[in-house]
A and B are shown apart, each in its own frame.
Chain A
Amino acid sequence: MAGYSEGSGRPNQWLRNLNAKIASVPMILTAVVIFLGGTIWTVVYSFTNSKLLPRLSFVGLDQYERLWDAPRWLVSVQNLAIYGIFSLIFSLVIGFVLAALMDQKIRFENTFRTIMLYPFALSFIVTGLVWQWLLNPEFGIQSVVRSLGWESFTFDPLYNSDIVIYGILIAALWQGTGLVMCLMLAGLRGIDEDIWKAARVDGIPMWKTYLFVVIPMMRGVFITTLVIIASGIVKVYDLVVAQTSGGPGIASEVPAKYVYDYMFQAQNLGQGFAASTMMLITVAIIIVPWAYLEFGGGRKRV
């Protein structure tokens, strides 16, 4: 903030700042019409029985009841929960451990970082297709291990309904942990060097310093990373489309795909709106407490 507010009370403010207002028209339109208006529109229409075209004939909570009765939606939610919990845990733990290793004043830090982060530059489509190939049971990792002599080795997550979501998880972690590592590394670099000296003088082992001193100090970084990962998880779509197209059967469906399929393919808009409203609620549950912690009460976060 530039702290340039002393002029805001002047009477000729409206004309003097006309250019700034004109420059802000796209932002105002986007914020009000698309973000606010569009969201309200979708929520309102989720209470209607719109099929091919949006129609304003309200049916109460019908769409939601149908949604929570649909096996495909239940599978989607369950998948999202499994995928979400594991990708949160794994990416935070792996990201932090890698960052801690990178923070040991090592050589070739840039090389290692470049290697760990490059998957993040790739799209989910590319990521999904590569891992589809690697996990291909006929040619991929499974067949290679079998050809080495371990004939009964089985690793075909993409063709097994019970574990297909973990196959997607593997690809997602490959793509995303580099970013978490970078954010964590930035956080570690922000820790005062004296903390380490003090811990060493007191003879505290390194892992204890990390666990009880450094991690609590990095609370802000962890929360921000958590929010970033979590809001990405809810949106997961391309990866599933590329890797499994929701299969086998409906075993790897996710909510975002449910929304797209009902809106643009099954032409059942009401279901799509209801499902997307559920996604909105999920994000709100994640974001609101964070926003409250971060900005709530007007005090700075510690």
Chain B
Amino acid sequence: MSDIVAFNSVAEEAAPKAQVDRVVAGPRGRKPRRALSSRNIVIYGTLIVVALYYLLPLYVMVMTSLKGMPEIRLGNIFAPPLEITFEPWVKAWASACTGLNCDGLSRGFWNSVRITVPSTIVSIAIASVNGYALANWRFKGAELFFTILIVGAFIPYQVMIYPIVIVLREMGIYGTLTGLIIVHTIFGMPILTLLFRNYFAGLPEELFKAARVDGAGFWTIYFKIMLPMSLPIFVVAMILQVTGIWNDFLFGVVFTRPEYYPMTVQLNNIVNSVQGVKEYNVNMAATILTGAVPLFVYFVSGRLFVRGIAAGAVKG
């Protein structure tokens, strides 16, 4: 609401200035409109309603997680808590139960950290070198493999899961964190390679040629020239991988043993367990905790996140 008021006053201040501009430079841009025209009311009204709809689940999550169970049973989910309690948060983190294990979501959190950090680093390292090779050092057949890789990005994971299980079992790493890290590296490869290939191909070719003339080789050019020039794309790739891997559920449940389950899997087990009394406040606190990391990445990274998902959307 206050947004509209602020907007009006700014628009009114801007109006005379626009008129002066018009006298000086002739009519440019759109005709200045009255701030409270019916058109603006419709546009801002719709957007505000939509924004409230998008924010509602987050609001309800937070409110529910701060209430005690008696208040939840009596009250309405949209009402703010009468008595704020952080107990559900503590319980969700430290003592919520999955089956017989009652050490809370913290275990899943640390598992997710142990999965996400190495997976992100390994997948980006491999894909960036690979994209660089594809952009600047093309060899015969490279395009063919790359095409298979990109087409493969559209194949449903379910089709490739079982063969991977067999390969990992043969290697003796099925069910371990290493296995899961390899799986994340494999499935992150199409989009990341595409991202890096396009980025490196867009850099001025003269740089690469000059370095070649000076006698620099494959790795020297990569580390001394390409890497320092492409930090933004590395950040984009990192955002993409951290949120993607953190949010993964399917690979976590297929490729790891219960003691290594990532946070998403553990969260689902806590909330959807059939035993015991449902504690909605603890469930919601656990849900927020699981969503906190990608949300943090999202709010901190801003525009880069949009770039990342626009590129990463093909990952589906």
> Which positions in A face B, CB cutoff 8 Å?
1-5, 8, 13, 17, 19-21, 23-24, 26-28, 30-39, 41-42, 45, 54, 98, 101-102, 104-108, 110-126, 129-134, 136, 139-141, 143-144, 147, 174, 178-179, 182-183, 186, 228, 231-232, 234-235, 237-238, 241-242, 245, 256, 259-260, 263-264, 269, 272-273, 275-277, 279-280, 283, 287, 291
The reply to whether A37 and B316 form a contact with Cβ atoms under 8 Å apart is no
A98: chain B residues within 8 A (beta carbon): 47, 50
Q: Given A38-B164, A235-B157, A235-B316, is A26 in contact with B272 using a C-beta cutoff of 8 Å?
A: no
Q: Does B46 contact A (CB under 8 A)?
A: yes
If A35-B155, A115-B51, A238-B249 touch, whether A129 touches B267 (CB-CB below 8 Å) is: yes
CB<8 Å pairs between A and B, sample of 16: A1-B135, A26-B185, A39-B155, A39-B160, A101-B43, A104-B43, A118-B298, A120-B309, A121-B243, A126-B247, A126-B290, A182-B306, A231-B316, A242-B272, A272-B162, A276-B156
Cβ of A273 to closest chain B Cβ, rounded Å: 7
B139 A17 Cβ-Cβ under 8 A: yes
Q: A39-B160, A101-B43 are in contact. Are A122 and B155 (CB under 8 A)?
A: no
Cα of A65 to Cα of B316 in the assembled complex, Å: 30
Which B132-158 residues have C-beta < 8 A from chain A? Answer: 132-140, 142, 145-146, 148-149, 151-152, 154-158
Give the nearest-CB partner of A239 in chain B. Answer: B249
Q: Are A182 and B152 in contact (CB under 8 A)?
A: no
Is B241 among interface residues, defined by CB-CB distance under 8 A? Answer: no
Q: Determine if B314 and A126 form an interchain contact, defined as CB atoms under 8 angstroms apart.
A: no
Could you tell me if B54 and A119 are in contact, using CB atoms closer than 8 angstroms? Answer: yes
- Interface pair A133/B157, CB less than 8 Å apart: no
- The CB with the most chain A CB atoms within 10 A, among B3, B130, B154, B164, is that of B154
- Could you tell me the distance between the alpha carbons of A179 and B308 in the complex, rounded to whole angstroms? 11
* B156–A117 CB distance below 8 A: no
Chain A residue nearest to B138 (CB atoms) is A4
Please tell me if the beta carbons of A42 and B77 are within 8 angstroms of each other in the complex: no
B251 smallest CB distance to A (angstroms): 11
Inter-chain contact A179/B309, CB cutoff 8 Å: yes
Residue picked from A2, A17, A106, most chain B C-beta under 10 Å: A2
The CA of A228 and the CA of B311, in the complex, are separated in Å by 11
Residues of A contacting B161 with CB < 8 Å?
263, 276
Among B17-25, B95-103, B226-234, B279-287, the stretch that binds chain A is B279-287
The answer, among A35, A123, A276, for a CB contact under 8 Å with B149, is A35
Partner of B316 from the list A30, A34, A228 (CB cut-off 8 Å) is: A228
* A26, B162: Cβ atoms closer than 8 Å: no
Please state if A107 and B126 are interface contacts (CB–CB under 8 Å).
Answer: no
Stretch in B55-63, B85-93, B172-180 with 4+ CB within 8 Å of A: B55-63
Asked if A37 and B61 make an inter-chain contact with CB atoms under 8 angstroms apart, the answer reads: no
Chain B residues, Cβ within 8 Å of A143: 76-77
Interface centre among A102, A115, A234 (most CB of B within 10 A): A115
**Is B213 part of the binding interface, using a Cβ–Cβ cutoff of 8 Å?**
no
Contact B309 A139 (CB under 8 A): no
Contact A105 B30 (CB under 8 A): yes
A2-B205, A42-B160, A116-B50 given; A31·B280 CB < 8 A: no
Q: Within the complex, what minimum Cβ distance (angstroms) separates A114 from chain B? A: 7
Q: State whether the Cβ of B260 lies closer than 8 Å to any Cβ in chain A.
A: no
Closest to B60 in A: A134
Total contacting residues, chain B, CB less than 8 A: 98
The majority secondary structure among interface residues of chain B is: helix
Q: Please tell me if the beta carbons of A276 and B159 are within 8 angstroms of each other in the complex.
A: yes
| Interfacial chain A residues near B284, Cβ < 8 Å | 130, 133
> How distant is the Cα of A122 from the Cα of B55 in the complex, in angstroms?
13
**A21-B139, A39-B152 known; 20 other A-B pairs, CB under 8 Å?**
A8-B139, A20-B139, A31-B149, A35-B149, A54-B162, A105-B30, A118-B298, A123-B291, A125-B247, A125-B264, A129-B287, A130-B58, A130-B284, A133-B77, A139-B73, A228-B313, A235-B157, A277-B159, A279-B159, A291-B151
Taken together as a complex, chains A and B put the C-alpha atoms of A260 and B158 apart, in Å, by 7
Q: Is the CB of A24 within 8 A of B291?
A: no
Chain B residues within an 8 Å CB radius of A121: 243, 291, 294-295, 297-298, 305
Query: Nearest chain B CB to A298's CB is how many angstroms away?
Result: 13
Which residue of chain B has the shortest Cβ distance to A255 in the bound complex? B158
Q: What is the distance, in angstroms, from A50's C-beta to the closest C-beta of chain B?
A: 10
Lowest 4 CB-CB distances: which A-B pairs, in order?
A35-B152, A123-B247, A20-B137, A19-B218
Q: Nearest A residue to B11 by beta-carbon distance? A: A107
Q: How far is the CA of A242 from the CA of B157 in the complex (A)?
A: 18
User: Which B residues are in CB contact (< 8 Å) with A287?
Assistant: 151, 154
Contacts of A3 in B (CB 8 A): 205
Contact of B158 among A27, A112, A228, A256 (CB under 8 A): A256
In the assembled complex, the CB of A79 is this many whole angstroms from the nearest CB of chain B, namely 16
Task: Give A242 to B271 CA distance when docked, in angstroms.
Answer: 9
Using A27-B149, A123-B247 as known contacts, say yes or no to A134 and B156 having CB atoms under 8 A apart.
no
Cross-interface CB contact of A13 among B140, B201, B283, cutoff 8 Å:
B140
Q: Which residues of B contact A113 (CB under 8 A)?
A: 306
Distance of A124 Cα from B140 Cα, bound (Å):
41
- Establish whether residues A133 and B156, one from each chain, have CB atoms under 8 Å apart when the complex forms: no
Please, which residues of chain A bring their CB within 8 A of the CB of B149? 27, 30-31, 35
Give min CB distance, B217 to chain A, whole Å.
7
**A283 adjacent to B160 (CB under 8 Å):** no
Residue of A nearest to B35 (CB): A107
Cβ contact of B189, chosen from A27, A133, A140, cutoff 8 A: A27
Which residue on chain B has the smallest CB distance to residue A123?
A: B247
Q: Which residues of chain A have C-beta atoms less than 8 A from B55's C-beta?
A: 115
Please, which residue of chain B has its CB at the minimum distance from the CB of A17? B139
